[in-house]
């Protein structure tokens, strides 16, 4: 009987040991399956998250590129408008400077013409004055010569033996003569 009990005990112990081995294998397999399923789920979720993140990134990148293109177009329009405004301001300034210079140059040219006309008139007046003075001087000289000639013609002829160096008196009174009209300019 002891042997039977001992053999029963050993059998139960062996059975428990086998049961324990099978159970631990099943628990280990379950644990391993759970870990593998978790790993597979995590990798699937990670792949899905990466794909979604990549899609979001691509979407954001396309949005960024579109915004960049729009910003580039708007900046180009703004810069061209600013440059056209600056160019127009520079052209307006150049036109103002040119207008001022041309007006100044034209006024100086007209002033030179006025001065030339005045100088010409002054020269003409002086030449006329000089001609009239010469003419008057010539008339005075001619009348003086004529007066002396007439005075000599009226004087008595000296005798043959008389002193030839005798001076004939000439009247010093001014004689009124007919006025000669001045030549017109």
Complete DSSP assignment for 53-114 = HHHHHHHHHHHHHHHHHHHHHHHHHHHHHHHHHHHHHHHHHHHHHHHHHHHHHHHHHHHHHH
Instruction: Tell me the pTM.
Output: 0.41
Q: What is the mean pLDDT of residues 92-118?
A: 96
Question: At a CB cut-off of 8 Å and minimum separation 6, what does 185 contact?
Answer: 124, 125, 128
Residue-wise pLDDT tens digits, 124-163: 999 999 999 999 999 999 999 999 999 988 877 666 655 5
Query: For the chain, what percentages of helix, strand and coil (3-state, to nearest 5) are there?
Result: 85, 0, 15
Give dist(CA 40, CA 36) in Å, integer.
6
Residue-wise pLDDT tens digits, 22-74: 988 899 989 999 999 999 999 999 999 999 999 999 999 999 999 999 999 99
Give dist(CA 121, CA 116) in Å, integer.
8
> What are the angstrom distances between the C-alpha of 137 and each of 2, 20, 35, 171?
191, 166, 145, 20
Q: What is the mean pLDDT of residues 95-115?
A: 96
Question: At a CB cut-off of 8 Å and minimum separation 6, what does 135 contact?
Answer: 180, 182, 183
| Pick from 56-65, 81-90, 122-131, 172-181: least confident | 172-181
Give dist(CA 178, CA 183) in Å, integer.
15
pLDDT of 181 reads 53
pLDDT of 76 reads 96
pLDDT of 184 reads 55
Q: What is the DSSP letter of 1?
A: -
Give dist(CA 102, CA 115) in Å, integer.
19
């Amino acid at each position: 009987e002891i042997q039977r009990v001992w053999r029963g005990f050993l059998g139960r112990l062996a059975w428990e040991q086998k049961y324990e081995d099978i159970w631990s294998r099943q628990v280990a397999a379950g644990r391993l399956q759970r870990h593998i399923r978790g790993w597979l789920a995590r990798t699937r979720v990670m792949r899905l998250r990466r794909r979604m993140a990549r899609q979001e990134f691509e979407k954001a990148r396309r949005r960024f590129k579109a915004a960049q293109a729009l910003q580039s177009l708007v900046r180009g329009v703004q810069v061209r408008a600013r440059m056209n405004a600056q160019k127009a301001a520079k052209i307006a300034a150049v036109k103002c400077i040119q207008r001022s210079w041309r007006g100044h140059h034209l006024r100086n040219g007209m002033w030179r013409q006025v001065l030339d006309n005045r100088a010409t008139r002054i020269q003409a007046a002086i030449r006329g004055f000089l001609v009239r003075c010469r003419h008057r001087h010539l008339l005075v000289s001619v009348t003086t010569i004529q007066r002396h000639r007439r005075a000599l013609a009226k004087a008595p002829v000296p005798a043959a033996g008389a002193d030839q160096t005798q001076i004939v008196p000439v009247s010093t009174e001014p004689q009124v003569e007919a006025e000669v009209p001045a030549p017109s300019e």
